[in-house]
Amino acid sequence: MADLLLNGHFDGLADSDEAGDLHLATASDTPLTARAFELSDAEKIEKISGHFAEIMNILGLDLRDDSLRGTPRRVAKMYVNEIFRGLKPEHRPAVTTFENKYQYRRLVVERNIPLQSTCEHHFQPIFGVAHVAYIPNGRVVGLSKLNRIVDYYARRPQVQERLTVQIVEDLKRVLHTEDVAVYIDARHMCVQARGVEHHGASTITAEYSGKFLNESTKQEFLAAIHSKMPA
């Protein structure tokens, strides 16, 4: 199975329930078709609205009811403008770095970044927090940009493992350093609201690069994100 995962091939497995149940991802990049950006947002909303109305019809829901009539369009707008807005490259946050004039060379940690995403296997919500750290090289970045990068990659159909790697790789590129760490702790509604329905379960993923592969630096990061806030 590991070879299948690394090579991005499943020999039909991706078409079955098994791929989703095993929580497998085929690549570190979000899987997109060559035509992903051909339609405008308005065109996507129109098409999704029609398809979702058909789903509701198949389920036997009466779209003539006042409460349900606007649901297909509401869902379509939510998909395009909100929970999947990270699919559009133009929504990637503009990140400006600044010269590290004060020569700070220790950890910069932004912890407890609220995270909201969507499981790509069942289209169920994922809620959690991300903790991000880097060691400045010649440049530093405004702290809110770390939050925005996390949100950008979260706002698309995801698996948590891929999300963790995508955040690390983008931060390495933006900050021009290998010294980056990301730790995510999240609850998946595909585990809590369906299937085994284990409401207390959460998933932890972590990715370390550069100096964070050193055990002492990694432990300094973990101690920082798990420490209590002052009263």
Task: Given the residues 119, 158, 192, 207, select the one marked as catalytic.
Answer: 119
For the question of residue 122 being annotated catalytic, the response is yes
- Which amino acid is it at 74? R
Cβ atoms 83, 32 nearer than 8 A: no
Task: Given the residues 110, 158, 188, 207, select the one marked as catalytic.
Answer: 188
For the question of residue 190 being annotated catalytic, the response is yes
- Which amino acid is it at 145? K
Task: Given the residues 23, 91, 116, 122, select the one marked as catalytic.
Answer: 122
For the question of residue 120 being annotated catalytic, the response is yes
Residue 67: how many other CB atoms lie within 10 Å = 8
Q: What are phi and psi of 14, to 5 degrees?
A: -65, -20
Task: Given the residues 158, 166, 190, 192, select the one marked as catalytic.
Answer: 190
For the question of residue 99 being annotated catalytic, the response is no
- Written as one string, the DSSP assignment of 36-48 is TTSS-HHHHHHHH
d(CA 11, CA 157): 22
d(CA 69, CA 217): 55
Task: Given the residues 110, 120, 158, 166, select the one marked as catalytic.
Answer: 120
Task: Given the residues 110, 131, 158, 160, select the one marked as catalytic.
Answer: 160
For the question of residue 166 being annotated catalytic, the response is no
The closest alpha carbon to 221, from 123, 152, 135, belongs to: 135
Alpha helix segments (H runs only) across 70-229: 71-78, 143-154, 160-175, 189-192, 215-226
The closest alpha carbon to 178, from 147, 137, 215, belongs to: 137
For the question of residue 121 being annotated catalytic, the response is yes
User: What is the helix (H) or strand (E) element at residue 52, kind and residue range?
Assistant: helix 41-58
Q: Which residues are catalytic?
A: 119-122, 160, 188, 190
